[in-house]
Amino acid sequence: MARDSFNSKFGAIMALAGSAVGLGNIWRFPHETGSNGGGAFLLVYLFCIFCIGIPTMLAEFIIGRRGQRNPFGSFRTLAPKTRWYWYGGLSILAATLILSYYGTVSGWTLEYFMYAVGDSFHNQSSAEINNLFEKFVSHPYKPILWHIGFMVICSLIIIMGVKNGIERYTKMMMPVLLLIIIALGVRACTLDGAQAGIKYLFYPDFSKLTWKSVLAALGQSFFSLSIGMGALMTYASYINCDDSLLQISTRVVVADTVVSILAGLAILPAVFAFDVDPASGPNLVYITLPQVFDQMPLGYIWGIAFFILLTFASVTSAISLLEVCVAFLTEEKKMSRLKATILSSAVITILGVFCTLSFGPMRNVTLFGKTFFDLFDSISSNFILPFGGILICLFVGWKMKVRDVYFELSSRGKYELKSFRVLMLIIKYVAPTAIFIVLMSSLGIF
Ligand code: PHE
């Protein structure tokens, strides 16, 4: 049976952009920018995205499309009789860990969507809104039910396959998501007092830039672009061999960056207009925004729109994580797609329950001083993603034949590649070295 693949270039771009655009852009980017000094952080972040992010993403695409399989199978095809295929194990581990805690936050989003529809934030004091969040996340089973609900939605899409599931639904959700985020960005920027937030986001104050914020910017760029753990590699194996990888990657990166900036524009000015601390952390979206919406004209509608946006963004990213496990099980273990999806979702959801309970009954259960939620987050984003990124660059830069890399990148000579030498230089030397520095720093070695 022929391997399932994307139907069109547009579909491939939507699916890949769907993977990239997620909680990382809307939930993580504004508070990372808020806690790391605003404009100066943004500049470093943009540098990381364009100079390291794009080349590493292309390297991942090259392996995936050339290998025509899941990460495990692709490495085994491209480097037979070597241990490179172990990367496949790393990618499954990363997908499982990330999706376990991603599902927790996505589950909260579903509950908050219901709150927004029920107008629950109306006329609530900030203490009450805070309380609402605390009470919900620490509830013994409610967040688990939402978490399970979220995983069921993702599983249903994945069961339908690449074309009929992933491509079809991301093609529907991504344009709506873009429209909502543009509307929210414009709305927030036109609020009284929003200038302070716009200035904070764009005005680079280099005195605020620390070494730590440079590292945070590189880490954020990896997480946001979904680089390093095989999700892009798996999707790339479904891209038609005629489509230009360079074109697709630039579009995905531009879409991802635009959404992050729009999310920053939607959230930071509003946060300033209503005098909320931009560095209030991961809870910014759930605790401060409901207050912001409540005080905005037509806030009811904006609140609903925002949580729809967040839900779509989470679903389109989560399915790319789930697909990594499903592609492995169907191709390497010859399982049916249905069985593979049920098995992967079940394991991930069970692990995820520990993350969800990290905010409630298991708040005090820690491993290496961290709750399950924090542990899964830090192992995957601080360790596995950068490590995976280095492996990918080294493989394409040093192990693959330059001729093969060129062949794949130019789609069998169909496209001219003017910047091939520079790109190879980055993939071979610059990107792995830069990522290595981040990795060592996050391990506390530098
Ligand atoms: N890029 C996604 C986001 O921004 C998260 C993600 C990371 C998805 C790694 C897949 C792989 O939310």
The DSSP bridge partners found for residue 370 are 367
Tell me the CA–centroid distance for residue 99 and ligand 1, in Å.
9
The amino acid at 270: A
Whether ligand 1 lies within 6 angstroms of the CB of 96 is answered as no
Tell me the CA–centroid distance for residue 305 and ligand 1, in Å.
21
pLDDT at 281: 64
Whether ligand 1 lies within 6 angstroms of the CB of 226 is answered as yes
Whether ligand 1 lies within 6 angstroms of the CB of 16 is answered as no
Minimal-distance CA residue to ligand 1 atom 7 = 226
The DSSP bridge partners found for residue 367 are 370
Q: Are 224 and 256 in contact (CB under 8 A)?
A: yes
Tell me the CA–centroid distance for residue 29 and ligand 1, in Å.
12
Whether ligand 1 lies within 6 angstroms of the CB of 19 is answered as yes
Minimal-distance CA residue to ligand 1 atom 10 = 226
Whether ligand 1 lies within 6 angstroms of the CB of 23 is answered as yes
Tell me the CA–centroid distance for residue 339 and ligand 1, in Å.
24
Whether ligand 1 lies within 6 angstroms of the CB of 310 is answered as no
3-state secondary structure of 333: coil
The encoded tokens of residue 317 equal: 């990213």
The encoded tokens of residue 275 equal: 């005098």
Name the CA radius of gyration of the chain, rounded: 21
Q: Are 200 and 208 in contact (CB under 8 A)?
A: no
3-state secondary structure of 367: strand
Phi, psi of 361 (to 5 degrees): -55, -25
Indicate the Cα dihedral angle 240, 246, 250, 251, nearest 10°.
-30
Residue to probe by mutation, ligand 1, list 16, 19, 154, most atoms within 8 Å of CB? 19
Q: Rounded to whole angstroms, what are the CA distances from 36 to 39, 146, 213, 227?
A: 9, 32, 5, 22
Minimal-distance CA residue to ligand 1 atom 11 = 226
Phi, psi of 370 (to 5 degrees): -125, 150
230: left (phi over 0), alpha (psi -120 to 50) or beta: left
Taking the C-alpha atoms of residue 425 and residue 435, their distance in angstroms, rounded to an integer, is 15
Tell me the CA–centroid distance for residue 52 and ligand 1, in Å.
17
Q: What is the DSSP string of 290-316?
A: HHHHHHSTTHHHHHHHHHHHHHHHHHH
pLDDT tens digit sequence for 9-36: 999 999 999 999 999 999 889 888 888 8
Q: Are 90 and 387 in contact (CB under 8 A)?
A: yes
Whether ligand 1 lies within 6 angstroms of the CB of 319 is answered as no
In this prediction, the residues of the chain whose per-residue pLDDT falls under 70 are 1, 280-282, 442, 446
3-state secondary structure of 144: helix
The encoded tokens of residue 388 equal: 């995976």
pLDDT at 90: 95
Of 244, 270, 278, 297, the C-alpha closest to 408 is 244
Taking the C-alpha atoms of residue 94 and residue 233, their distance in angstroms, rounded to an integer, is 13
Task: For the beta carbon of residue 179, count every other beta carbon within 10 angstroms.
Answer: 12
Q: Rounded to whole angstroms, what are the CA distances from 168 to 7, 15, 16, 158, 163?
A: 9, 9, 13, 11, 6
Whether ligand 1 lies within 6 angstroms of the CB of 154 is answered as no
Taking the C-alpha atoms of residue 168 and residue 12, their distance in angstroms, rounded to an integer, is 10
* Nearest atom of ligand 1 to the alpha carbon of 223: 7
Q: Identify the residue whose tokens are 């655009």.
A: 21
Contacts of residue 375, defined as CB under 8 A and 6 or more positions apart, other chains included, come to 367, 368
